[in-house]
Amino acid sequence: MAHMSPALIAHRGEPVSFPENSIAGYEAVLQAGAHWIETDVQITADGVPVLCHDASLLKLTGHDLNITGTVYADMQDLPAGCPERFGDSFSQLRMGRLDEFSRLLSQWPQARAFVELKQPSLTDHGVQRVIDIVLAALAPCLSQSILISFEYAALVQVRRCCELPIAWVLPEWSPQTQKQAMALQPDFLFCNRKRLPEGLQQLWPGPWTWAIYTVNTHGDAERFAALGAGMVETDIIRELMHTGAASG
């Protein structure tokens, strides 16, 4: 039986070509026709939502500053070009803010974004404060946004306080997480390919769309589609789009 090619999600923009979570990377993939993008959000000490995966700015800027313990003014001027990976190639870039991301996304109304609530910020600021800050920053593109997290309790709270779609990133593949997924009924379920059991024949059926990460070849994308994945998250979305995989 033939399976449709899965939709492609731009993982942190396109981190093989641009610093991860950079506005420049998102602009490039949106201009190329990406329909789905994903970003990570941390909250500074003074409540500014910034685009960063890690709790520290080390990978992004070369400075080991803890985001949740540092005010935005102390980080806004730091070059954020992932110097260990790209040297000085992107030294003109600064760390993106979620409001900048939102304004960009709103210019591409056919695109949608998975906006990940990260555990360090949820722990240090509290779940409801993080949700409130993120929703305010997403105002220009709220209808295009899906809130995603590893943190189950955070997604339960999202469901209580707004009507946005949600996506849960599975912390493990187990009967317990399957039971939790059935209780939560998320719109999307994300799973690291490394967590899938050997010899798996089918992803759990349910009301969600599956997204498997990180997938950087057509062959792997089709393999996960055959298991029931409607989406894959990739670091090289423009290359996969150019060579024929689906994008929407």
Longest dimension (CA), the chain: 56
Unique residue bearing structure tokens 């950087």: 216
Question: Is the Cβ–Cβ distance between 248 and 5 less than 8 Å?
Answer: no
- C-alpha to C-alpha distance for 99 and 64, rounded to whole angstroms: 24
Q: Which one-letter amino acid corresponds to residue 75?
A: M
Strand 112-117 relative to strand 229-234: parallel, antiparallel, unpaired? unpaired
Tell me what pLDDT residue 1 has. Answer: 42
- C-alpha to C-alpha distance for 214 and 191, rounded to whole angstroms: 9
Tell me what pLDDT residue 248 has. Answer: 52
Residue 79 token pair = 């070059």
Residues of the chain with pLDDT under 70: 1-3, 244-248
- C-alpha to C-alpha distance for 85 and 62, rounded to whole angstroms: 11
Which domains does the chain possess?
A: 7-242 (3.20.20.190)
Tell me what pLDDT residue 4 has. Answer: 75
Tell me what pLDDT residue 242 has. Answer: 87
Tell me what pLDDT residue 69 has. Answer: 98
Q: Secondary structure of the chain in the HEC alphabet?
A: CCCCCCEEEEECCCCCCCCCCCHHHHHHHHHCCCCEEEEEEEECCCCCEEECCCCECHHHHCCCCEHHHCCHHHCCCCECCCHHHHCCCCCCCECCEHHHHHHHHHCCCCCEEEEEECHHHHHHHCHHHHHHHHHHHCHHHHHHEEEEECCHHHHHHHHHHCCCCEEEECCCCCHHHHHHHHHHCCCEEEEEHHHCCCCCCCCCCCCCEEEEECCCCHHHHHHHHHHCEEEEEECCHHHHHHCCCCCC
Overall residue count recorded for the chain in this entry:
248
- C-alpha to C-alpha distance for 204 and 10, rounded to whole angstroms: 24
Tell me what pLDDT residue 243 has. Answer: 82
pLDDT (tens digit per residue) in 182-210: 999 999 999 999 999 999 999 999 999 99
Residue 113's DSSP bridge partners are 37, 145
